[in-house]
Amino acid sequence: MKTALIIRHVPHEGVAAYREPIEAAGYQVDRVDVGDPAFAGRCLTEPDLVIMMGGPMAVYDRATYPWINCQLHRLAKRLEADRPTLGVCFGAQMIAAALGARVYAGGTQEVGFHPVTVHDETSPLRHVAHVPMLHWHGDTFDLPEGTRLLASSDVYAHQAFSRGRNLLALQFHGEMGEDPRVDAWIAQGAADMVAAGQTADGIRAAYVEHGPRAITASRAMIAEWLSGLN
């Protein structure tokens, strides 16, 4: 059976709704938290699929999070080998950094459900075109050399990119829409939420309104991407 490794940077940012299409594609799913002492010894090139999820930390805050350098080093080896890799939010920023691109504070908090503009509607991103997706970040990145920009938002130009068939990086959170752990996001990201002009009640209401459609579209996106892996 094919293996998929989920790298979780904080406990409340898991694979959520993406688990269903990953398992449906025939992967046996394993998970490791970066806080687990065993993480430093995990080979990131070996799994058939690696999925790196989000987190409130910044790629450039390596003094506070020494595991970032270790993870970037192993991630770069995986990407050099063109092994199938999916990154979400912080995970997407890690991919950008591992490919040599700059990751930096964008100056604006993008929080809440907003649609993305899909630039290539022949790509798997076509499923999420015009569908409000959950965003929760203030960092952004330059587009790595050799990659293709797939989507943008009104706030940040770089919302998704790919390289060939085996690499997909998503700044937005298509996996979130039904997972109750959104309450932990609201509690942890209260300052960012306020900075973006959002409220806890507003986020919860939008989650109920847009979440199911976002998940349906995002699962179709991930399923199509997985079906095209080399």
Contact 112, 135 (CB under 8 A): yes
Nearest-5° angle of CA 107, CA 85, CA 75? Answer: 75
pLDDT bin (cut points 50, 70, 90) of residue 74 is very high
Domain span at 24: 2-227
Number of domains in the chain: 1
What is the DSSP secondary-structure string of the chain? -EEEEEEESSTT---GGGHHHHHHTTEEEEEEETTSGGGGG--SSSSSEEEE---SS-TT-TTT-THHHHHHHHHHHHHHTT--EEEETHHHHHHHHHTT--EEEEEEEEEEEE--EES-TTSGGGGGTT--EEEEEEEEEPPPTT-EEEEE-SS-S-SEEEETTTEEEESSBTT-SS-TTHHHHHHHTHHHHHHTT--HHHHHHHHHHHHHHHHHHHHHHHHHHHHT--
pLDDT, residue 72, reads: 97
Contact 230, 166 (CB under 8 A): yes
Residues 6+ positions from 170 with CB-CB distance below 8 Å: 86, 87, 88, 89, 92, 159, 160
Tokens of 196: 């973006």
CATH number for the domain harbouring residue 108: 3.40.50.880
**How far is C-alpha 179 from the chain's CA centre?**
15
pLDDT, residue 83, reads: 98
Q: Residue 64, class by beta-carbon neighbours within 10 Å (0-12 exposed, 13-18 middle, 19+ buried)?
A: exposed
Average pLDDT of the chain to the nearest whole number: 97
Q: What is the mean pLDDT of residues 208-212?
A: 98
Cut 0.75: pTM above it: yes
pLDDT, residue 22, reads: 98
Q: φ and ψ at 227, to 5 degrees?
A: -70, -20
As a whole number of Å, the end-to-end CA separation of the chain is 16
pLDDT, residue 75, reads: 98
pLDDT bin (cut points 50, 70, 90) of residue 180 is very high
